[in-house]
Chains A and B, each alone.
Chain A
Amino acid sequence: MSIPGSWYLTLAALLFSIGVVGILVRRNVLIMFMCIELMLNAANLTLVTYARMLNDIGGQVLVFFVLVVAAAEVVVGLGVIVSIFRRAKSTTADDLHILKG
C-alpha cells in the first residue's frame, strides 16, 4: 500500500507556504534564511514526487542541481551574515535600517 502522490505534493505545498510566511513575518535573518531552505526543499520534494508520478528520472536529477545551488547559497549567505553581524551584534532584520527611502 502506498501513499498517493498528491499527499506529497500537498505536503510540499504546505512546506513552501510555511517558508513564504516565515520570510514575510519573521525578523531574524537566520530564521528567514532557514525559511528559504525550507522553500527550496519543498520544491525538491515536489520534483521528486512528480518524477515518480511521471516515471521520469529527469526530475530527480534536477534535485541534485537544486541541492548544489542551495549549498552554494548557504556558503555565500552565511558568509555575508557573519561579516555584517560581527559588527552589528544582532541578527534582527529590523536593525538593517541604514538603507531606506
Chain B
Amino acid sequence: MMLAVLAKLPIISWPAILPETIFIGGALLLLAVSALSNKKLSSGFCAVYTILISVAALGSSMYLWDKLSSHSSYVAMSSSIAVDGFGVFVAILVCSITVLIALAGEGFFRDSWGSLEFFVLIMLSSSGAILMAMANDLIVVFLGLEIMSISLYVMTAMDPSRTSSGEAAIKYFLLGGFSSAIFIYGIALIYGSTGSTNLANIATFLADNVLVQNGVLLCGIAFLIVGFAFKVALVPFHMWTPDVYQGAPTPATSFMAALAKAGGFAAFLRVFFSTFGTLRSDWRPIIWVLAVLTLLIGVLLALVQQNIKRMLAYSSISHAGFVLLGLQAASAIGVAGSLYYLFTYSFLVIGSFTVVMLVAGEKDTNHSLDSYKGLARRRPWLAGVFTLLLLAQAGVPFTTGFMAKLYVLSALISAHGYALAVIAMIGAAIAVFFYLRVVVLMYSPAPGFAANDETGAALDTDTGIGESIEVGDEAATIQSSGMSLTRSTALVLAITVGITVAFGINPAPLIEFARHATLLFH
C-alpha cells in the first residue's frame, strides 16, 4: 500500500537540482550551527564555509555541464526543471559570483553586524537565481525569483548604522513586491490562455494553435515583461535601482548587481526566446523600445551623478540595455551574446564595487565622487585596478567589455537591427564619458587643491598629477578612512582583473563556452 503511494509520487532527480540543493542545505546548516553553538561564529569561518559550499555547488554545476556535453539536455521534476547548457552556464556563473562575494564580504563584515546572516542570505539568494535559470515552468521561475529577491530585500536592510539602508530596503521591497504581483498576474493570464504554465507545453501549444483572439495572452506576456524589467532594471522600471544600490551595504550591492541581473536575464531569455519565440513579432517592438530607453536614459542619468554607487547603478542599467540586445536579436547567437555579456559583466561589476567598498571605509559612507579625487596618489594600485575595470565596463579594446559589446551587437546586426545598434553604440560613447570622468578624478590632484582649479565642474578638473605639496594631511585623513586591502579583497580584485584581461586578450574559450551553452538549449 505504502509502496503503491510512493510509486505514484513523481521521481525526484536529485542531480538535476544539485547546485540549488547544496546552496539551500548549506545555508540551513550554517543557520542551525550558529543557533546551536555557544559563541558567535566568526565572519572568517562563515566566509570560508560559504566559499566551500559555493565551490561544491560550482563543482556540481561543472558535473552537470560535463554530463551535458556527452548526453543531451533533459527535463526533471515533472518537467519543471530543465537541465540544459543554458541553465548550467548561469549556474556556474552564479556559483562564481557567490565565491567572489563571500570573499569580498569577509573583508567587509569583520565580525560586525550581520556577518552570519549575510553569508546565509547570499547562499539562499544564489539558489533562487539558479532555480530561475533552470526553471522550465513559469511557477518555478516565480519561485526562484522570490527566493532570490526576498533574500536581497533583507540584505539591503542589513546595515543598522545607516538609515539609508532601511529606506532602500523599503523601496526595494515595495517595488519588488509590486513587480512580483504583476509577474504572477501575467502568469495567471498566460495560464488562462494556453492552459499550462510549463514552458515546453506553452511552446507546443503556441506552435500548434494560432490564437485568433490572443489579447489575454499578449497582456500576460506584457505583464511578464514588466515583471522581468523591474528585476533586471530596465527603463522605465528602473526607479528603485539607484536608491537601492546606494542604500544597501556595498557587498550586497555588488551581489545584487551581478546576481539579480544573471538570474533575471536567464529566465527572461529562456521564457521569451524559447517559449514565446513564435510570438517574437509581438514582443520584439516592446523590447526595442525598452532597449532604446534603457541604453540612453541609463547613460544620460549616470552623467550627472555625484555618488559613485548611483553612477554605477545607472551604468548597470545601461549594461542591462546591452544584454537586452541579445534578446532583441532573438537568435541563438543573440542568446549566446547575452550570456557572454552577463558573465563578463558580473566580474566587472563585482570588481568595481569591491573597489568602491574599499574606498568607502569601515562605515561604508564615502561614496561621493570627491572621495575618488587623488586616489591614484594615495592608493595607486587600487586606482589602477579601478581604472582598468571602469575602462573595461566602457568597452575598451582588449578587455572583456569590448568583446561582450561586440558579441551582442553582432547578434543584433545579423538580425538587421541597424538602428538599434547605432543607438547602442552612441549610448556606449556617452558611457565612456562618465567612466573617464571617474578615472580623471582619480588621477587628479588630491582634495584640498580643488579650490585652485579654474572651474568647479568635475569634467574640467585639472588632471595634472601633483601640484600638491601641502595636501599631505588631507590625504592622510582620507587614507585612514578608507578600508585597507585584505587578502580576501585583494583576491577578489585579482580574479576580476585577471578574468577581464585574460578573456579580453583571448576571448575564444569563453565565447565557445557561451556558444555551447546555447547549443545545449533545451
Contacts and interface: CB of A to CB of B under 8 A. Distances in A.
Consider the complex of A and B and state whether they touch directly, i.e. have CB atoms less than 8 Å apart: yes
Interface of A: 9, 12, 16, 19-20, 23, 29, 32-33, 36, 39-40, 42-44, 46-47, 49-50, 53-54, 56, 58-59, 62, 65-66, 69, 72-73, 76-77, 79-81, 83-84, 87-88, 93, 96, 98-101
27 contacts: A9-B192, A36-B174, A39-B178, A40-B184, A42-B185, A43-B181, A46-B189, A46-B192, A47-B191, A56-B196, A58-B196, A59-B191, A62-B188, A62-B197, A72-B150, A77-B173, A77-B177, A79-B154, A80-B153, A84-B167, A96-B171, A98-B163, A99-B168, A99-B243, A99-B247, A101-B305, A101-B310
B350 to A, nearest CB: 22
A98 B164 contact: yes
Nearest to B245: A99
B157 A58 contact: no
B242 A101 contact: yes
Interface in B176-196: 177-178, 180-182, 184-185, 187-189, 191-192, 195-196
A99 B181 contact: no
Interface stretch (B138-146, B425-433, B474-482): B138-146
Q: List the 6 shortest-distance A-B pairs measured between CB atoms, nearest first.
A: A84-B166, A39-B181, A50-B192, A46-B188, A99-B243, A36-B177
Contact of B174 (A33, A56, A66): A33
B192 A23 contact: no
B153 A43 contact: no
Nearest to A13: B185
Given A65-B143, A99-B246, 12 more contacts: A12-B188, A16-B185, A20-B178, A23-B178, A29-B174, A33-B174, A73-B150, A73-B177, A76-B153, A84-B169, A88-B163, A98-B164
Residue among A20, A39, A88 with the highest chain B CB neighbour number at 10 A: A39
B139 A65 contact: yes
Contacts of B73: none
B518 to A, nearest CB: 29
A9 B219 CA distance: 13
Interface in B128-156: 139, 142-143, 146, 150, 153-154
B197 A58 contact: yes
Contact of A33 (B143, B177, B191): B177
Nearest to B162: A98
Contact of A47 (B178, B180, B188): B188
B188 A83 contact: no
Contacts of B197: 58, 62
Q: Is the interface of B mostly helix, strand, loop or mixed?
A: helix
A100 B243 CA distance: 6
A73 B146 contact: yes
B307 interface: yes
Contacts of B247: 98-99
Nearest to B153: A76
B150 A76 contact: yes
Nearest to A73: B177
B204 interface: no
Contacts of B189: 46
B455 interface: no
Nearest to B301: A101
Contacts of A43: 181, 184-185, 187-188
B414 interface: no
B1 to A, nearest CB: 24
Interface in B322-360: none
Interface in B244-280: 246-247
A46 B184 CA distance: 10
Contacts of B142: 65-66, 69
Contacts of A93: 170, 174
Contacts of B305: 101
Contacts of B177: 33, 36, 73, 77
A94 to B, nearest CB: 12
B13 interface: no
B170 A53 contact: no
A42 B184 CA distance: 10
A57 to B, nearest CB: 12
B306 interface: yes
B310 A40 contact: no
Contacts of A79: 154, 157
A83 B185 contact: no
A73 B180 contact: yes
Contact of A80 (B170, B188, B242): B170
Contacts of A54: 192, 195
B164 A99 contact: yes
Nearest to B164: A98
A100 B313 CA distance: 13
B178 A36 contact: yes
Given A62-B197, A101-B242, A40 B167 contact: no
A19 B173 contact: no
Residue among B166, B167, B188, B195 with the highest chain A CB neighbour number at 10 A: B188
Residue among B166, B187, B242 with the highest chain A CB neighbour number at 10 A: B166
Contacts of B196: 56, 58
